[in-house]
């Protein structure tokens, strides 16, 4: 843990940033490349700690992975050619690695043991393991599989028809990845649509996936063939600069390479509803994931209500949207977001407690928070709880505070955005 003192003296932000690769897509590019037979090449890969954990796990399964800058190449014998790992697979802070790998390993031919860091050790795994067990998976773990460490004995699986109790792309993806190895057609029914990177990438690797009105069906036994993946920039990382551009005085910044997948773009809708001065220019040549350049400038904002089916489309952006709401006129209500409690930390408690220290008028509710704005913010010592997005929320707040913000641990930001502080320096 290293403390970081942030004294920015209210800069006006100017300039252009290229947003680094999407975390969700980067994970999946390596996972799919490892399951597929042959060579997969990736450009724009995110060199964040979470994605490096995914690479490390697959290397332990005998998959050859080379990293050169943000280009990654994966040379795999295919899932049936993996070696049984002699070491524990370490998933670090990454929920996506842990949960998606459960689905992949359940239908593999190897035995494996998985463990992550202290935060992963507190996050619920039964939401994935319950449906996987219904498919015939052999998984054991602490508290009957609720928590890591987990042991997985790969086996033959049966397809499932599963009604998602929560909107979670990690749960959906784990089931679909297990479904790839299952006998029969796996069906996943979503009431609220979660991010669809897995479905898109399955198609990119040559599989057929059907989706009609939130019902995804996918025939088991399909094989994946290595291909090229271009990773778009991560809208969840861009979010911090979208908000910074809107709340800092006399600012105008251009963000290039922002992924605008419609299952991820809730923050754009919210910024528009709040009155942000923003323009979006989609790229013509985007591949399987749509991408755009977004320009944002200092904005006069009004409070809003964020609820219902937009929540899964901006779940990771809620900490930074809460900061945005402290600078908007009137009340912002965030509800239907109880999933925040089971992220890298309890993000309802963390956001409310830390923004209060800066002087915000914010109260926690059972499923979200209520923020009254605008309030001037003051410097303070903040906890990040080892959560990258809480850390970046604090750092963006430091751009508008009177006095310094001191983060107790800024290292966690490297989980998803290793160049975050360099990017602040570039535009401030």
Window of 82-90, 164-172, 211-219, 278-286 that interacts with ligand S3P by CB under 6 A: 164-172
Spatial distance between the Cα atoms of 400 and 112, rounded to a whole number of angstroms: 48
> Please, which residue, 238 or 400, has the CB nearer to ligand S3P?
238
CB of 237 to ligand S3P, least distance (A): 11
3-state secondary structure of 284: coil
Return all residues near 284 (Cβ < 8 A) that are at least 6 apart: none
Considering only the stretches 168-176, 201-209, 350-358, 402-410, report the one whose residues sit in contact with ligand S3P under the rule CB under 6 A.
168-176
Which residues ranging from 313 to 342 are in contact with ligand S3P (CB under 6 A)?
315-316, 339
Which residues within the stretch 18-37 sit at the binding site for ligand S3P (CB under 6 A)?
Answer: 24
Q: Choose, from 234, 316, 387, 409, the residue flagged as catalytic.
A: 316
What CA–CA distance (Å, rounded) separates 326 from 323? Answer: 5
In whole angstroms, how far apart are CA 174 and each of 95, 126, 137, 423? 11, 12, 12, 34
Q: Residue 270 burial by CB count (10 A; 0-12/13-18/19+): exposed, middle or buried?
A: buried
Site string for ligand S3P, 337-376 (x = CB under 6 A): --x-------------------------------------
Identify which of 368, 216, 359, 196 has the alpha carbon closest to the alpha carbon of residue 288: 196
- CB 285: neighbour CB atoms within 10 A? 6
Kindly state the tokens that stand for 61: 């399964």
- From 32-40, 72-80, 165-173, 219-227, give the range in contact with ligand S3P by CB under 6 A: 165-173
What residues contact residue 408 under an 8 Å CB cut-off, 6+ apart?
1, 3, 381, 382, 383, 384
> Looking at 247-380, which runs of residues are DSSP E strands?
252-259, 277-282, 291-297, 305-306, 330-334, 361-365, 368-373
428 carries a ligand binding annotation: no
Q: Check whether 112 is labelled as a binding-site residue.
A: no
96 or 261: whose CB is closer to ligand S3P? 96
Q: What is the x/- site pattern for ligand S3P, positions 189-228, by CB under 6 A?
A: ------x---------------------------------
Annotated catalytic residue 50 = no
Residues 93, 108, 173, 237: which binds ligand S3P (CB under 6 A)?
173
Q: Work out whether 168 is an interface residue with ligand S3P (CB under 6 A).
A: yes
Q: DSSP states of 223-272 as a string?
A: --B--EEEPPB-HHHHHHHHHHHHHSTT-EEEEEEEE--TTTTHHHHHHH
97 binds ligand S3P (CB under 6 A): no
Least Å distance, CB 250 to ligand S3P, is 33
Neighbour tally for 350: CB within 10 Å: 22
Q: Which range touches ligand S3P (CB under 6 A), out of 6-14, 167-175, 297-305, 359-367?
A: 167-175
- Tell whether residue 169 is a contact of ligand S3P (CB under 6 A): yes
- Per the rule left: phi > 0, alpha: psi between -120 and 50, beta: everything else, 331 is beta
Q: Rounded to the nearest whole angstrom, what is the least distance from the CB of residue 428 to ligand S3P in the complex?
A: 27
- Residue 170, marked binder: yes
Complex with ligand S3P: residue 6 or 57, whichever CB lies closer: 57
Non-local (6+) Cβ contacts of 76 within 8 A are 33, 34, 35, 36, 37, 38, 40, 63, 64, 226
Distance of CA 166 to the CA centre of its chain: 16
105 scored as a contact of ligand S3P (CB under 6 A):
no
Is 23 annotated among the ligand-binding residues? Answer: yes
Query: Is residue 217 annotated as involved in ligand binding?
Result: no
Question: Could you say whether residue 96 binds ligand S3P (CB under 6 A)?
Answer: yes
Strand 252-259 with 14-18, pairing: parallel
Residue with tokens 């809730």: 266
* Interaction site with ligand S3P (CB under 6 A): 24, 96, 168-170, 173, 195, 315-316, 339
Catalytic residues: 316
Q: Which residues are annotated as a binding site for 3-phosphoshikimate?
A: 23-24, 28, 168, 170, 316, 343
Annotated binding site for phosphoenolpyruvate: 23, 95, 123, 170, 347, 389
């Amino acid at each position: 843990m290293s403390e970081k003192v942030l004294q920015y003296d209210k800069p006006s932000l100017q300039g252009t940033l290229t947003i680094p690769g999407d975390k969700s897509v980067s994970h999946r590019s390596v996972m799919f490349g490892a399951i597929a037979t042959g060579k997969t090449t990736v450009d724009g890969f995110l060199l964040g700690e979470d994605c490096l954990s995914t690479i490390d796990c697959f290397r332990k399964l005998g998959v050859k992975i080379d990293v050169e800058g943000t280009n990654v190449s994966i040379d795999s014998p295919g899932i049936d050619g993996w070696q049984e790992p002699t070491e524990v697979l370490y998933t670090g802070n990454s929920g996506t690695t842990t949960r998606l790998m459960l689905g992949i390993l359940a239908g593999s031919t190897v035995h494996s043991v998985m463990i992550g860091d202290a935060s992963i050790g507190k996050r619920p795994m039964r939401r994935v393991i319950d449906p996987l067990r219904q498919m015939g998976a052999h998984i054991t773990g602490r508290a009957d599989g609720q928590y890591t460490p987990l042991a997985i004995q790969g086996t033959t699986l049966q397809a499932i028809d599963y009604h998602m109790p929560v909107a979670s792309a990690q749960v959906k993806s784990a089931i679909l990845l297990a479904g790839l190895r299952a006998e029969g057609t796996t069906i996943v029914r979503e009431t609220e649509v979660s991010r669809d990177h897995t479905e898109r990438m399955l198609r990119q690797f040559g599989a057929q996936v059907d989706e009609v009105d939130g019902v995804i069906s996918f025939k088991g036994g399909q094989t994946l063939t290595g291909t090229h993946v271009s990773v778009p920039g991560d809208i969840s990382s861009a979010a911090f600069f979208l908000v910074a551009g809107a709340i800092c005085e006399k600012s105008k910044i251009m963000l290039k390479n922002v992924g605008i997948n419609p299952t991820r773009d809730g923050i754009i809708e919210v910024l528009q509803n709040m009155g942000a001065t923003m323009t979006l220019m989609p790229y013509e040549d985007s591949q399987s994931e749509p991408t755009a350049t977004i320009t944002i400038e200092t904005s006069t904002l009004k409070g809003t209500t964020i609820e219902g089916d937009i929540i899964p489309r901006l779940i990771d952006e809620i900490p930074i949207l809460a900061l945005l709401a402290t600078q908007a006129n009137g009340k912002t209500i965030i509800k239907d977001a109880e999933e925040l409690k089971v992220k890298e930390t309890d993000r309802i408690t963390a956001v409310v407690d830390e923004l209060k220290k800066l002087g915000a008028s914010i109260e926690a509710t059972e499923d979200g928070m209520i923020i009254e704005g605008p309030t001037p913010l003051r410097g303070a010592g903040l906890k990040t709880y080892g959560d990258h997005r809480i850390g970046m929320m604090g750092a963006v707040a430091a751009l508008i505070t009177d006095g310094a913000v001191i983060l107790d641990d800024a290292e966690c930001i490297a989980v998803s955005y290793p160049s975050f502080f360099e990017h602040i320096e570039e535009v401030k």
